[in-house]
Structure 1
Amino acid sequence: MPESIIRDPGLASAGRLKIDWVRNNMPILNEIRREFEERRPFAGQRVAICLHLEAKTAYLAEVIQAGGAEVAICGSNPLSTQDDVCAGLAGKGVNVYARHGCTDEEYNFFLHKVLDTRPRLVIDDGGDLVHLLHTGRRELLPEVIGGAEETTTGILRLKAMEAEGALAFPMVAVNNGDCKHLFDNRYGTGQSTWDGIMRNTNLTVCGKTVVVAGYGWCGKGVAMRARGLGARVIVTEVNPIAANEALMDGFQVMPMIEAARYGDFFITVTGCKDVIRGEHYAVMKDGAILANAGHFDVEINKPELLALSRSHRVARRNIEEFVLEDGRRIYLLAEGRLVNIAAADGHPAEIMDLTFALQALSLDYLLKNAGQLPARVLPVTEEIDRLVATLRLRSLGVAIDTLTDEQERYLASWRH
């Protein structure tokens, strides 16, 4: 059994139940796994993974392992790691370095432990693993063939690295693949964010005012589900195109300083920092509830909220209460971390089936083209995107039309 650092190996049986459940609901990955087991594309390769370490992620690690890889994994968020899943995965021969609620020091230690395996391929979520490779572990860069990035936040960091000429190997922007952002970001984030909010607050959403900060694909999903639950929805944006889209989708649009007066629930989904800050706390209602569904815990300014408060306590599991000087109470969910994964189980298995299929196939693509790709942020290939979509339809028993030869000639010609 490889080295692992986990909280309790005795939790393995409970973790296996979770992993087995999602495996039964991830038909695309199951088909890819069968193909990988026959072809063994990763034989002799070392793969490092930094993702939210819960059951769907564990199954992705097992699929890559089934392709012949030696896999090492750590969590991309201290609160999203599930200790039973870690134990269940470690029991299957994967190097696991993660504990729920780990300190910042432990988090960085686990990143280093994963990189100690000298990976040839990486999967990242938010960019921490790639950042460490380019700063504290540069001696490993010559061995890395490439990697794949899961999130908008991570891709923003990668593009900044590329613009400065700092990126040392190709990274596939899995988040930008159609089978990722159109489904994972919109339907996955939309459902799982409200799952996290509702299971922890045990409050109604209908009749309330929900403020959604950011109208990208994740924000669209959160706003759509809020309306479906019976809420009035306000969208805040900095992008005029996205703001117009929100208006045409039937939502109110206004600056956060105005929306702050009306909101009962606030959900940040921007990838930026200080989206909600001191000036907004000053005008919020008593009992306002704040949640973040962006990658890092910087979208809601916690230090400013604490500084404005006369008292602070844990009001309920995953809920902190801040009492302001005038007696108003503001509640923060999951320490301002990803509410859908730090305070719930993350996206549904069928949604992550699409995303993680892109991850697995993108690693295969990088390996097939080793040494031939530029050190840039690369798109998911259309071939991979369409294959994943086709496998999804096949698993559902859904057939679609195909073009006739005459239709293909018509579409390819300008003379008709």
Structure 2
Amino acid sequence: MTSLPIKQLNASAADFESQLDALLAWESVSDHSVAETVARILADVKSEGDTALLRYTNQFDRLGANSVTDLVIPKARLEEALTKVSPEQRKALEAAAERVRSYHEHQKQDSWKYTEADGTVLGQQVRAMDRVGLYVPGGKASYPSSVLMNALPAKVAGVDEVIMVVPTPDGEVNEMVFAAAAIAEVDMVITVGGAQAVAALAYGTETVPKVDKIVGPGNIFVATAKRSVFGTVAIDMIAGPSEILVVCDGKTDPDWIAMDLFSQAEHDEQAQSILVSPDADFLEKVQESVDRLLPTLDREDIVRQSMADRGAFIKVDDLTQAAEVINRIAPEHLELSVADPEAMLPLVRHAGAIFMGRHTAEAIGDYCAGPNHVLPTSGTARFSSPLGVYDFQKRSSIIYCSPRGASELGKVASVLARGESLEAHGRSAEYRILED
């Protein structure tokens, strides 16, 4: 049996930083031809509406639809999907939905205000967005879990209308995706996809309502389109390949760790799986598990290329140094497969989701733990957070000045405004100043 060549790094080596930079390097920008194609599609849908949306949908998804309205899925059809999936699948979707909904209920933010001694009132009003667009990949690469993870936080936030777009190439429908939309109470489902669907959500067409924000994963054309329409609408993020960083003290079953690494590597060849451990012998044991278990996978070829091209085993001196590596990488998924994960937690500053202990597989978080599986990738966990209810809420500042408050604040504003040579600002504030 040939051993899979996985990069071996040592965090104490003099060239570790440069080696790590090379390992983490990933170019997220689409090439010129993709950008040109997307720009043309966006412009056509913006100017032609349904006509362009239908033309591109029929072309790319090989459909023969007569109008975009034919691609709008009736609510009854979504409910029907609940009967078409197996009882086991429906039960799993409903159980996952309940956990996701319950978790996100804890994220809801309320409006607040306080009154100062002179009667001035300051505060913040929190309101949900009016309408949100949810992009869901279609065909064979369909993810009903993405429907739940994107739609339910919006619903919990109080979004009035969730519009879901999902392509059906060659008319191929994933019943679990439709069933998930029914369970999440998505308001409108349209079987369109690609850059043309993003354009329709961003600009609006005769059939597709214009939304305030677009969320959900997609291919390079979808990601490029989302980047292009940002500013016209909000977007969740531009996601890179899936990542997992496992820190293990050497006491977890190596087969478990190998399969945890595979769980992300099987997404695609660009996915990244990294194992960090202070135990050199354990790293060798995991290598043996990788070599033995890899041939048993349905997606062996994808996992093999992912692990060979972007995977790594990193030897550290101790778990403190492991935490330094964590924060340097800022992984999307972090497993702390150690005896005392709580002790390590305060050391972790940057990670999308943290899975605590030997029994908490990252895969649980993908489906049914409750927290969102839409997470920052490519090191963006340094400044970004998981998708949540707060992503579908807006905050407005509340300012009410009593006469006395307006007078006192007006004196301060006057000085600052005139210091900036903005006379009208100053005089506007000065009109409210009371005479002593």
TM-score by length of 1: 0.37
Does 1 or 2 have the higher relative contact order (CA < 8 Å, sep 6+)?
A: 2
* Bigger Cα Rg: 2
